[in-house]
Structure 1
Amino acid sequence: MKITSFLLPKDKVAFITSSASMREALEQLENHYYTALPIVDSDGKYAGTLSEGDLLWMLKNTPGIDFDNMHQVPVSVIEKHIHNESVSINAQMEDMLALAADQNFVPVVDDKNIFIGIIRRKDIIEYYMRNITD
């Protein structure tokens, strides 16, 4: 089986750009009920993952930042505490499964590291549950 079977394409994925503000990131997390979002740079490449915790630690540890001025803080300056490794669209299932064991989602990139979507751990578990119980 190819990992493309599990791919949730970029146009169906909530993500943020590296130029987005802290406020925009918080709103994306809130609107989609996510705990983390992939970050895509200006070239469309996967640039990392931003988590709720990253935002909270930034608020806690940076004097002067509050909800009123979060729109002035770019995501690019926020320290990231989670590193979701990406996988190539051409990767083997074993590679993707190994990453999914430790990550809620696995970012998927093409040969030029362009972000093309994610694979959600939830979808993998549901697939195997359907096939194990049949």
Structure 2
Amino acid sequence: MNIAFFLTPKSEIIYENTESTMRQVLERMEHHSYTAIPILDRDGKYIGTLTEGDLLWKIKNTPGLSFRNTNKVLVRDIERRKVHEVVTINADIDSIIGLARNQNFVPVVDDEGVFIGIIKRSDIIDYCYTFINEKKKIG
């Protein structure tokens, strides 16, 4: 099965770019109740995923940094503590199932590394649940 079936396109998700401020990311994540958000560069290439934990560690490890002055910190200056693996649109379902075990979503890029969307863990779980139930009906 082609993973495009599971793709939530870039136009339907929230992401930030490396030039955004920490305050912008915090507010966007809070507004949408997200715990992680994809980060893109100016060319639309996937750079990584920024998590709530990354933001907390940045505040903890930066003397004098508080919510009030997070507008002075750029996303590109926030260390990401975990590498979120990506797949290309040509990947197979087996490769994304393994990644989704440890990631809320799997970023999808084209052959040039340009971000085209995500595959949500919940969509993969729904697919697996339906597949299992269909097998039970047949077998």
Compute the TM-score of the two structures, normalised by the length of structure 1: 0.96
Deviation at 1:64, TM superposition (A): 1.5
Question: C-alpha root-mean-square deviation of aligned residues, in Å?
Answer: 0.9
Paired-residue identity, %:
51
Q: Cα deviation per residue 1:2-42 (whole Å; 9 max; x = unaligned)? A: 10010000011111111110001101110111111010110
Q: Where has structure 1 moved over 2 Å in runs of 4 or more?
A: none
For the residues of structure 2 that align with 1:48 and 1:105, how far apart are their CA atoms? Answer: 12
Q: Which amino acid aligns with 2:36?
A: A
Cα distance in 1 for partners of 2:122, 2:2 equals 17
Count of residues in Structure 1 that have an aligned counterpart in Structure 2 = 134
Unaligned regions of 5+ residues in structure 1, if any? none
Partner of 2:32: 32
Query: Which residue of the partner structure matches residue 11 of structure 2?
Result: 11
Give the aligned partner of residue 75 of structure 1.
75
Query: Normalized per residue, which structure has more helix?
Result: 2
Q: In the alignment, which residue of structure 1 is the partner of 2:119?
A: 119
Partners of 1:121 and 1:68 in 2: CA distance: 34
Which residue of structure 2 lines up, in the alignment, with residue 58 of structure 1?
58
Q: Which has the larger radius of gyration?
A: 2
Q: Could you list the runs of 5+ residues in structure 2 that have no partner in the other structure?
A: 135-139
Q: 1:77 to 1:35 in 2, by over 3 A?
A: same
